[in-house]
Every structure is written in C-alpha cells, then in structure tokens.
Amino acid sequence: MTTNPSGISRRTLLKGLAASATVPLAGCSPSPASPPLAAPYVPGKPLPWINWGKNHSCYPSQRLAPRNEQQLLQGLTQAKGTVRAVGSSHAFSALVPTDDTLLTTDYLSGLVSHDPATRQAEVWGGTRLHSLGPLLESVGLATQNLPDMDYPSLAGAIATSTHGTGKHFGSLSTQVAGLTLATVDGQLLDVSAQQHPQIFNAARTHLGALGIVSRVRLQCQNSYRLTEVSQVEPLEQMLSELDLRMSNNRHFEIFALPYSPLGISVTTNEAKAADVNQGEEDPGALNQLRQVFESVSWLPGVGESLYAWLLDKAFGGNPPVVRTGPSYRVLAHARTTRFCEMEYSVPVEAGPECLRKVLDTIERRKLPACFPIEYRHVKSDDIMLSMYQGRDSAVLSIHQFGDLDYRPFFAEIEPIFHQYEGRPHWGKIHTLQAPQLAALYPKHWQDFLAIRESLDPKGKLLNAHLKQVLGV
C-alpha cells in the first residue's frame, strides 16, 4: 500500500482507525442481523453442499464426478430426479441446489487442443479461470478479456454471461466460438455459428438448463501484458469524464464508496516496457473499512460525515497503486472477504444516474452499507439470455458482507434497478420471476424456452429456482 503525504500509510491509518471500533452500527453487525445459517451436517443425511456465499445449500442424494465425456453421458442419462452441474460454487443465486443428483465437472479440466493459425483453443468446461490463463499462455495465447475474479469454472462462467469491463468487450460468452453440450438423451452435441446455430446462441448463456457443457472452444489472441493503475479520486469527476475514460482505455471501472464523495478508479491498458509494480494491494482493506464504518457511523447526526472525513484523511492525495504482468494475472483480483452479491445491468446511458440514485438512497435511508459499489461497462451482444443482449450496458454490483443478512439492504436497492429496465445477473441475487424476466428479453425469451424444451422435454435439468425464473 502506498503512503500519503504525512508519511502514514493507508494500511496503518485504516488499522489505527479500525482499532478504535467500540460500538457497532445497528444492522451492520453479526448479531442480530446475521443471515440464515447454511445447511449443517446431520448424521444420517447426505453430505450438504453449500455455495461460496453460504446463502444456498442442499443435500444431494447422489454426487457424480465424471472423468471423461462417456462417464458424463452415462451419469446424465442414468441419474434419477433432477440433475444439476456444479463448478466452483460461486453462484449467489440458486442455480445449483438439488437434493437429487449433483454433478461436478472438476475432472473435466485442462487444455484439449489449440490452433495457432486461428488462435482458437479448446478447453474442458470444468477448467477454473485461474488455470485457464497459464494453460493458454503455455501455447502463446490469452483470452481477450476476463472477469475480475478467476475462481469460477469456464462452463459455469459462460452459463451466466460472466464478464469483465471495457467499452469494447462483451462478456466471456462472446469469446466462445463453439462448445460441446452433453444432453439428457445421451448425445454429445457440437454447436457453433455453423452447426446448430440456434442452440449455440442459446448455449452461450445456458443456465445449466440445456445440457452440461463438456468442452469450450475459445477465440483467443496472442498472449499480452497489461498494466493496471488504481487510485482514489472524486467520484463526480470520474462520472463527468466517464465516456472519455471508457473510450481512451482498454478497461476502466469505478468503485464508488458509500457515504463518501470519493471513489476508486481502475484503469487498465497494454503494458509498456518500462512499467513496474508500485505500491501493493491490502487483502484486509475491506474488513478494515468495515471496522472504521462501524466505529463511527452510529454517532447521531455526525457519524456518516465523520466516516467520510476519515476516508478522505486515509485515502485523499495518495499516489496510485500499479500492477503489471501477464493479462490474466492483472485482470483478476483475489477475493479474501466473503460476501453476497446482487448485480444488475442497465442501458449504458442510464448508468451514472442509476449509480447516483443508489448512493443517494443509501445515504438518505442510512443503510448499513460500506462495501464499495462496483461500476463497469460491457459491450452489447445478441446471445439469447445474455444480460447485454441488444444494448451496451452499465453494470452495478452491490455487495454485503457474508456474515450479515443481505436481504434488508438489497430489498431497498433492487427497485432502483427496475426503474431503468435493469436485467439481473443470472448467477447473483435477485427477486424477479418469469413474467418480469420475459419482459426484459422480448427478442429471444420464447426462443430459449423452445430450445430448452426440445433438449430436455421432461425438465430433468430444472431445479426449483430454474422453474421459477423460466416459468416452466
């Protein structure tokens, strides 16, 4: 972490402020506002599955871990009841839970093949994104973009149109040139823009409702290096320059700080030969930020303004933190603090107004929120259930610490996104059901449902959550 003009590091100052925490803010402490407990182990019951956010769980009666595509097909066709595939368990929505058959793709991992001429690579669907970068680098390739966390499996990330940021970049699903789908009737279906194009268009945001993706063919580029610059700036200045910054940089995003006029800009471009790392990220910064918030925000009449003043003293005027290296290392960031997340995509032109309204609502209603709000842009596509279908999008991500009950906070914020025709991220928390979702996807909603029906007429892949959101 870099130092401020007084010579006191941000890390030292935050830790000193956090140490002063004595009285927590009501509603922002582990008790009584704690979330429902995840499923405990119960003797005599199957081993529970629990997602990373610990907000969903189930007791699958059968767990399958196929080591090849033949075992995958055998397990899929012979399994009784509902079958759901699971990768890294990083979905915050209830896409995975089933008490019937849970099928992990962990063994279906690694590089299958690559073509230097087309710069395409075929990869097993269970490959984690943190393994994907080194695998591609070993053959001189890299993805065009990546999400900012690299824990999910490739097939799982594609299932929900997981994305990074950048005006010129779509979601990870837009980099898919073809894939292999294991279907409930025992087929391995190779789909692409040339083979079964309608199924391909649906399968690039498949929700696990069409089959299980065993292999993915990615359109890559030659490996490259990036340099990321993170710095604290006035939020309104960043929003006023948003179009320029998005246009002039390969990647740009903002982390808005609730109860503060400040935000963190993250600007990423191709690296120059002289670029070097400067400063360092502090993996404990989020928890320290929370402790500072809880130490002062409860004070009647002055808490929030005092918090803003402390943040200005801790962060204002500090030099940027610079990270440089292979693209896959720079684009991804460690997630060491557990949280639950809600994310909506709105039309790009509505993004700044929507963000301001979210921040204003937090302040006016004195909501217990100190987790930075992530703001990104994603390029439009024409993938059936992609959140970015037909429109360039601004993406706002709302988080709450994992040991707190996210529901009261999210319930206050979610209606704001509805005012802007927001589409929820399929893998994150939302309350919309099929009629509302269908209205947000007028071009392809019925097309996706028809393809799902043709591939899985008995609904073997549908758990309770999918039945609800798809209206099946």
pLDDT of the chain along its 472 residues, tens only? 333 333 344 555 555 555 544 444 333 444 335 666 568 888 888 999 999 999 999 999 999 999 999 999 999 999 989 999 999 999 999 999 999 999 999 999 999 999 999 999 999 999 999 999 999 999 999 999 999 999 999 999 999 999 999 999 999 999 999 999 999 999 999 999 999 999 999 999 999 999 999 999 999 999 999 999 999 999 999 999 999 999 999 999 999 999 999 999 999 999 999 999 998 777 778 888 998 898 888 778 777 888 998 888 888 778 899 999 999 999 998 888 999 999 999 999 999 999 999 999 999 999 999 999 999 999 999 999 999 999 999 999 999 999 999 999 999 999 999 999 999 999 999 999 999 999 999 999 999 999 999 999 999 999 999 999 999 9
Q: Tokens for 410, please give them.
A: 């999210």
Domain ranges of the chain: 49-104, 111-223, 225-426
Contact 472, 466 (CB under 8 A): yes
Other Cβ atoms less than 10 A from the Cβ of 411: the count is 11
Cα distance from N-terminal residue to C-terminal residue, the chain: 51
Question: What is the pLDDT at residue 40?
Answer: 80
Contact 406, 400 (CB under 8 A): yes
Question: What is the pLDDT at residue 44?
Answer: 86
Question: What is the pLDDT at residue 41?
Answer: 81
Question: What is the pLDDT at residue 33?
Answer: 57
Q: What is the pTM for the complete model shown?
A: 0.93
Helix (H) or strand (E) holding 363: helix 351-364
Question: What is the pLDDT at residue 31?
Answer: 39
- Please give the CATH topology (third level) of the domain spanning 225-426: Vanillyl-alcohol Oxidase; Chain A, domain 3 (3.40.462)
List the beta bridge partners of residue 256.
263, 373
Contact 307, 293 (CB under 8 A): yes
Question: What is the pLDDT at residue 73?
Answer: 98
| Class of residue 337 by CB neighbours under 10 A (exposed 0-12, middle 13-18, buried 19+) | middle
Helix (H) or strand (E) holding 453: helix 445-455
The letter for the amino acid at 439 is A
Strand arrangement, sheet containing 339-347: 321-326, 225-234, 262-270, 251-256, 373-378, 393-401, 339-347, 423-424
Question: What is the pLDDT at residue 296?
Answer: 87
Cis check: omega of the bond before 258, within 30 degrees of 0: no
Question: What is the pLDDT at residue 5?
Answer: 35
Size of the chain, expressed as the number of residues it contains:
472
Residue 425's nearest CA partner among 365, 376, 353, 358 is 376
Q: CA 406 to CA 339: how far, in whole Å?
A: 9
List the beta bridge partners of residue 49.
58
Decide which of 3.30.530.20, 3.40.50.970, 3.30.465.10, 2.40.50.100 is the CATH code for 111-223. 3.30.465.10
Question: What is the pLDDT at residue 431?
Answer: 98
Chain centroid to Cα 118, Å, comes to 29
